[in-house]
Structure 1
Amino acid sequence: MASPNSTSAPKRKPLPSLYSTVSATVSPLTLASWVKLSSSLDGRDKITKIIAYLSRLLAWYYKSVLLLPDAAAKFTALKNTVQMARKPFRMGKVVNEVHKIRNCLARPTLSEVERVGDETKESPQQANALPLYRKVGMIGKMIGLAGFWCGDNVVFLTKGVNFLHHDDKDKRMTLGTRAHHFASRLYFFGAICHFLEGIENVRRHWKALEKAQLENVEDSELKKLQLKGFEMYVSLFKACCDITVFSNNPGVDLWKKKRGKKLSEAIVSLAGLGSASTVIWKNYPKIS
Structure 2
Amino acid sequence: MQTLDSTVKWFNKTEGRDKICKVMQYGSRFLMWHLKVNRGNEQLSNQFKNLFQSTRDARKLFRLAKSLNELQTIIDKVGQNCKTPQEQIARGLNILTRIWFLLYWLFDNLSVLSSIKFTTSDPKPLQKKAMTFWFIAIITNLIDTVRQLIVNLQYIQQNKTNQSAQQQINNKQQQNRVLYLNLIKIFGDLMPAGQGSEFFPKVLKINLNDGVIGLGGLISGAVAAYQAY
TM-score between the two structures when normalised by the length of structure 1: 0.70
CA distance, structure 1, for counterparts of residue 206 and residue 162 of structure 2: 52
Mapped to 2, the partners of 1:135 and 1:223 lie a distance apart of: 23
Query: 1:150 matched to which residue of 2?
Result: 106
Structure 1 contact 140–189 (Cα < 8 Å) conserved: no
Q: 1:246 to 1:203 in 2, by over 3 A?
A: same
Confirm or deny that 1:224 pairs with 2:171.
yes
Q: Distance in 2 between matches of 1:154 and 1:207?
A: 43
Shift in Å at residue 257 of structure 1?
Answer: 1.6
Counterpart position of 1:185: 132
Tell me which residue corresponds to 2:91: 135
148-157 or 212-221: which moved more? 212-221
1:72 match: 45
The alignment status of 1:88 with 2:61, answered yes or no, reads yes
Q: Is the 8 A contact 1:194 1:236 kept in 2?
A: no
Match of 1:237 among 172, 179, 184: 184
Alignment equivalent of 1:164, drawn from 114, 119, 124: 119
Alpha-carbon spacing, 1:259–1:69, altered in 2? closer, same or farther (3 Å): farther
Give yes or no for contact 2:19–2:225 (8 Å, CA) kept in 1. yes
Do the aligned residues in 1 keep the contact of 2:192 with 2:216 (CA within 8 Å)?
Answer: yes
Percent of paired sites with the same residue: 21
Distance apart, 1:230 and its partner CA: 0.5
CA distance in 2, matches of 1:226, 1:84: 38
How many pairs align?
218
| 2:210 counterpart of 1:281 | no
CA RMSD of aligned residues (A): 2.1
Cα offsets for 1:57-82 (capped at 9, x unmatched): 10011111012222212111110001
Q: Which runs of 4+ in 1 moved over 6 A?
A: none
- Structure 1 residues 178, 241: closer, same or farther in 2, change over 3 A? same
Cα distance in 2, alignment partners of residues 88 and 96 from structure 1 = 15
Gaps of 5+ in 2: 1-11
Unaligned runs of 5+ in 1: 1-38, 113-129, 166-171
- Contact 1:157/1:163 (<8 A) preserved: yes
Query: Does 2:46 align with 1:99?
Result: no
